[in-house]
């Protein structure tokens, strides 16, 4: 006999002991994959800051020209003023400019101060945006889950939950029941959710996201940002089971050698639930069991045992993946086997093409424009 969740439909068959933990069903899915995005150059500043900087860049050349015209001193001509404004914004030198009037000097000093602050803020935020990229949104609540995925799996006992959801007055639970399917075990459900499908599931067509559920909107009637989850989320399947047991299975069988995993747990549970031991109705030993369970719970032993078990499971999972990695390297003929690094949240990571797609595209565009301009100047010098 094993502890189970205190679902309302089960109260007709048997009674429960003292509830020793909140065993709410949680969903587990694959983490969103970071896709190459050229917008990485845009992320460091907000839209309002970009528009304000654009307005300042457009207004400064006429301002320089007007101040120089009023003072009767040239500021380098129309093209010279434009070159000065854009050059200083890009950290270029300004040796050709020598303002003599106080008004010109004040305007130039204000512009240089603006370019220094804007450039420093952009470079600092750009480094953070490249090293800590913006990942696609992922479902965290039940409403987002049924909107983003088309298939939800549960172990065999999930048939009772599916019947319970179908009878619910909530549109979200009814939509969840329609997309729910039963799998033989939690391992099979997590394999499918992580993308490691079996031969049977590989032959099936990929499910589509649920288009019938309407998520809530704000006061103006504008859909919330989570309405985009169906188009941005790379996963179309999730697995539901008790959170603590899911964490244990993920730590044992779905943890990489460096301690990372492809799966994540939703922030919100499917519904609140308590876990207890099932016993017959009017059992004479219920009070004794409740007293023992309550003593263990209040002493903190249950949480301590759970933490020790999870730590041991993570350790065994990492060691198992290391052994598999070593065996694979031996089979490939590698003599020296490097030890897999321990998980660390502060370990440096190399920037890849995913992070630097925007700067590389901008550099390629600049080289292309410069090449076309150079060829045009050569042709003009030869034929004109």
Strand, coil or helix: what is 200? helix
Q: What is the pLDDT of residue 73?
A: 57
Poorest-pLDDT segment among 157-171, 188-202, 288-302? 188-202
Give CA–CA dist 231/223, Å, rounded: 14
Q: Which residues contact 279 (CB under 8 A, 6 or more apart)?
A: 14, 15, 16, 17, 285, 286, 289
Spatial contact of 343 and 260, defined as CB atoms under 8 Å apart? yes
Give CA–CA dist 195/208, Å, rounded: 15
Check pLDDT > 60 for residue 160: yes
Calculate mean pLDDT across residues 331-360: 60
Q: What is the pLDDT of residue 198?
A: 42
Spatial contact of 277 and 42, defined as CB atoms under 8 Å apart? no
The most confident of the ranges 92-96, 210-214, 353-357, 362-366 is: 362-366
Is-above-0.75 flag for pTM? no
Q: What is the pLDDT of residue 98?
A: 63
Q: What is the pLDDT of residue 8?
A: 60
Q: What is the DSSP string of 134-192?
A: -PPP---SHHHHHHH-SEEEE-TTHHHHHHHHHT-S-HHHHHHHHHEEE-S-HHHHHHH
The residue with greater pLDDT, 103 or 114, is 114
Residue 162 main-chain phi, psi, to 5 deg: -65, -40
Check pLDDT > 80 for residue 192: yes
Strand, coil or helix: what is 300? coil
Q: Per the structure block, which two tokens stand in for 43?
A: 């992320």
Give Dmax (Cα) for the chain.
Answer: 108
Q: Tokens 């803020």 sit at which residue?
A: 121
pLDDT band for position 142 (cuts 50, 70, 90): confident
The residue with greater pLDDT, 27 or 344, is 27
Give CA–CA dist 5/85, Å, rounded: 68
Q: What is the pLDDT of residue 71?
A: 63
Q: Per the structure block, which two tokens stand in for 3?
A: 């502890």
Strand, coil or helix: what is 242? strand
Check pLDDT > 80 for residue 51: yes
Give CA–CA dist 223/215, Å, rounded: 8
């Amino acid at each position: 006999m094993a502890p189970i969740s205190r679902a309302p439909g089960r109260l007709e068959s048997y009674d429960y002991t003292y509830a020793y933990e909140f065993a709410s069903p949680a969903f587990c899915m694959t983490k969103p994959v970071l896709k190459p995005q050229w917008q990485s150059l845009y992320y460091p500043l907000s839209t309002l800051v970009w528009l304000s900087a654009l307005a300042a860049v457009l207004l400064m050349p006429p301002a320089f020209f007007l101040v120089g015209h009023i003072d009767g001193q040239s500021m380098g001509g129309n093209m010279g003023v434009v070159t000065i404004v854009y050059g200083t914004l890009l950290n270029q030198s300004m040796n050709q400019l020598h303002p003599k009037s106080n008004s010109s000097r004040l305007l130039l000093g204000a512009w240089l101060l603006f370019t220094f602050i804007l450039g420093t803020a952009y470079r600092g935020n750009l480094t953070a945006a490249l090293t800590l990229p913006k990942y696609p949104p992922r479902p965290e609540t039940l409403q987002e889950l049924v909107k983003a995925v088309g298939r939800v799996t549960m172990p065999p006992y999930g048939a009772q939950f599916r019947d319970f959801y179908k009878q619910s007055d909530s549109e979200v639970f009814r939509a969840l029941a329609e997309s729910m399917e039963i799998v033989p075990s939690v391992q099979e459900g997590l394999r499918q959710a992580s993308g490691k499908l079996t031969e049977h599931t590989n032959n099936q067509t990929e499910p589509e996201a649920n288009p019938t559920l309407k998520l809530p909107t704000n006061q103006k009637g504008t859909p919330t940002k989570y309405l985009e989850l169906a188009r941005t989320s790379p996963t179309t399947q999730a697995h539901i089971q008790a959170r603590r047991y899911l964490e244990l299975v993920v730590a044992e069988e779905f943890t990489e050698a460096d301690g990372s995993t492809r799966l994540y747990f939703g922030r919100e549970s499917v519904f609140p639930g308590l876990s207890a031991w099932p016993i017959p109705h009017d059992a004479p030993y219920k009070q004794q069991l409740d007293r023992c369970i309550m003593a263990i719970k209040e002493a903190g032993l249950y949480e301590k045992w759970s933490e020790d078990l999870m730590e041991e499971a993570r350790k065994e999972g990492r060691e198992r993946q290391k052994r598999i990695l070593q065996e694979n390297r031996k089979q490939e003929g590698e003599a020296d086997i490097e030890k897999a690094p321990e998980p660390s949240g502060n370990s440096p990571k190399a920037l890849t093409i995913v992070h630097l797609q925007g700067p590389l595209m901008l550099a390629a565009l600049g080289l292309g424009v410069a090449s076309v301009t150079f060829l045009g100047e050569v042709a003009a010098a030869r034929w004109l």
